[in-house]
Structure 1
Amino acid sequence: MKLLRVGPVGAERPCVLAPDGRVLDVSSLTADIDGAFLAGGGVERVRSALAEGRLPEAGPFERVGAPVARPGKVVCIGLNYSDHAEETGAAIPAEPVVFMKASNTVVGPDDGVLVPRGSVKTDYEVELAVVLGGTARYLSSPAEAAGVIAGYAVANDVSEREFQNERGGQWDKGKSCETFNPLGPWLVTADEVGDPQALGLRLWVNGELRQDGDTKNQIFGVHHVIWYLSQFMVLEAGDVVNTGTPAGVALGRGPQAYLREGDVVELEIEGLGRQRQRVGQA
């Protein structure tokens, strides 16, 4: 099942994408797609209403928002593809590299991305995002992680490399600039995705293919990542975990080609949909 939110910023309506492509309104079942909805049986309520034909069409809309209302936290894994670690000159990590992004970086899949003031190294990263559907606290094994995952989405982990690597070595400040986490278009429930380690992911800049990878090449798989994080923090329903990016980022290219105002970034993951952002200036 594909859940989405449509409408103006701050006034998005919760919806579901029907098998025939219609966008159906689920406002009668929930005020929003958030942690309370995901943890409280909301997905099954929508599934039942969809099967019974009880949902009205959403009507016209001009914008698709992030499929999850502002998450409690956005946790990210760095250097999680061996080819990406190699292109950046980093060693293969022995444990997942963890950093955070501010939750207000999350925007809609086609919303504009802003180059921060003073930035000369704004970069792109197509990533598989995991959305939590329950609490992950000291999980006993990676296998247990499957029970707390609501679904998956496309994320662009936009990054400012100078802020990240050359301004004190604190990754968060190169990752938390406004608009730096386009998410969506859909939250695809875990049952529909199947194996999260068998998804192709691609990214283009101005029509040029820059990234072309597959989640099978992750160093630490999705379930391992969720288990690992649960040993250090409590993950809650509605939280988002970005699981790393394959090779092809601007930082690893020669010559480096960072994002500039007017660029168009497009990205997709198999079965999870497609994003398109035009780059502007903050």
Structure 2
Amino acid sequence: MKLLRYGPKGQERPGMLDAGGAIRDLSGVIADLRGEALSPEGLARLAALDPASLPKVAGQPRLGPPVAGMTNFVCIGLNYADHAAETGAAIPKEPIVFLKSLGALCGPNDDVVIPRGSTKTDWEVELAIVIGRTARYVPEAQALDHVAGYTICNDVSEREWQLERGGSWDKGKGFDTFGPLGPWLVTKDEVPDPQDLAMFCEVDGQRMQDGSTRTMIFGVAKLVSYVSQCITLHPGDVISTGTPPGVGLGKKPAPVFLRPGQTMRLGIAGLGEQVQRVVAAE
């Protein structure tokens, strides 16, 4: 299944994408894509529905983040061997974990706002894991039992604030609009191998990132298990799993960063695409 949330910001309704690509309204079935609706039992009930029996949504409404009620927006740094190499960093011995502000969360096609005074705003296409069942001290062998599915995250990053303003990555990752998520939650039954997904990011039509989850250092099961040792994960929580090479910071002979007026397009095989316009902060 492909599950989504549509409508104006703060007023999103739950929906399902049918086989023809039309949005079907789920608000008569569930209140939102949160909590119990994301559990194995909740997803099974949604999968049993006939999409044709659900109201068809007209037009092309705005898409919001595909899950609601998030408690933790977890990110993993330097989790691709080829990305670590382009930045000159050593291969991590354990996952590098940081938190993205919940205020950064936005829809997959919402504008991305460059902060005031920023000259080093960067892109990062990432596979995002959506948690469906509470995970606490989970063994790696059982980790995928706690996963509802997958989506796409653009881990937008302000590199000066991340790397040059006191050493806390969170500062450069948590600006408003720095967490586009979606377009939809693809349930894990439709993603048989999350460690074999092609991914890309373009800026103004120029391919910047062209990678695969095959080069992840720590895979999905390892990450869910690892994070659950220090952070209790709840339904609707997200772990964004790191980015392949091609970020602006790593460009040679000199870094390249985003400017107002540019457009980002990014996608992962089977999970859809995002498109964001880059604008300056007011």
TM-score normalised by L of structure 2:
0.96
* Corresponding position: 1:49 with 2:54: no
Q: Find the aligned partners of 2:230 and 2:50 in 1 and give their Cα distance.
A: 38
What is the aligned partner in structure 2 of residue 186 from structure 1? 184
RMSD: 1.2
What is the aligned partner in structure 1 of residue 263 from structure 2? 264
Instruction: Give the letter aligned to residue 34 of structure 2.
Output: D
Find the residue that maps to 1:267 and give its secondary structure: strand
Q: Find the aligned partners of 1:235 and 1:76 in 2 and give their Cα distance.
A: 13
Find the residue that maps to 2:186 and give its secondary structure: strand
Deviation at 1:41, TM superposition (A): 3.1
Instruction: Give the letter aligned to residue 161 of structure 1.
Output: R
Instruction: Give the letter aligned to residue 37 of structure 2.
Output: F
**Kept in 2: contact 1:82–1:92 (CA 8 A):** yes
Find the residue that maps to 2:49 and give its secondary structure: helix
Deviation at 1:49, TM superposition (A): 1.6
What is the aligned partner in structure 2 of residue 69 from structure 1? 68
- Unaligned 5+ segments in structure 1 are none
- What are the residue-to-residue correspondences of 1:12-91 with 2, within 5 Å? 12-39=12-39, 41-50=41-50, 53-91=52-90
Q: Find the aligned partners of 2:110 and 2:99 in 1 and give their Cα distance.
A: 21
Deviation at 1:44, TM superposition (A): 1.8
Deviation at 1:281, TM superposition (A): 0.9
**Kept in 2: contact 1:7–1:65 (CA 8 A):** yes
Alignment partner of 1:224 out of 222, 225, 233? 222
Pick which of 225-234 and 264-273 moved more.
225-234
- What are the residue-to-residue correspondences of 1:129-208 with 2, within 5 Å? 129-140=128-139, 142-208=140-206
Q: Find the aligned partners of 1:49 and 1:238 in 2 and give their Cα distance.
A: 21
Identity of aligned residues (%): 53
Find the residue that maps to 1:131 and give its secondary structure: strand
Find the residue that maps to 1:109 and give its secondary structure: coil
**Kept in 2: contact 1:35–1:239 (CA 8 A):** no
Q: Find the aligned partners of 1:125 and 1:170 in 2 and give their Cα distance.
A: 18
Deviation at 1:61, TM superposition (A): 4.0
* Corresponding position: 1:277 with 2:259: no
Deviation at 1:103, TM superposition (A): 1.3
Q: Find the aligned partners of 2:58 and 2:235 in 1 and give their Cα distance.
A: 29
Q: Deviations over 1:117-166 (max 9, x none)?
A: 121100000000000000111112x1211100000001100000000000
Q: Find the aligned partners of 2:232 and 2:92 in 1 and give their Cα distance.
A: 23
Deviation at 1:11, TM superposition (A): 1.0
**Kept in 2: contact 1:70–1:103 (CA 8 A):** no
Q: Find the aligned partners of 1:41 and 1:105 in 2 and give their Cα distance.
A: 30
Instruction: Give the letter aligned to residue 2 of structure 2.
Output: K
**Kept in 2: contact 1:132–1:235 (CA 8 A):** yes
Instruction: Give the letter aligned to residue 14 of structure 1.
Output: P
Instruction: Give the letter aligned to residue 273 of structure 2.
Output: R
CA distance 1:241–1:179, shift in 2 (3 Å): same
Q: Find the aligned partners of 1:69 and 1:238 in 2 and give their Cα distance.
A: 6
**Kept in 2: contact 1:154–1:185 (CA 8 A):** yes
Aligned length: 280
**Kept in 1: contact 2:35–2:69 (CA 8 A):** no
Deviation at 1:240, TM superposition (A): 0.5
**Kept in 1: contact 2:40–2:148 (CA 8 A):** no
Find the residue that maps to 1:64 and give its secondary structure: coil
Which 4+ stretches in 1 moved above 3 angstroms?
Answer: none
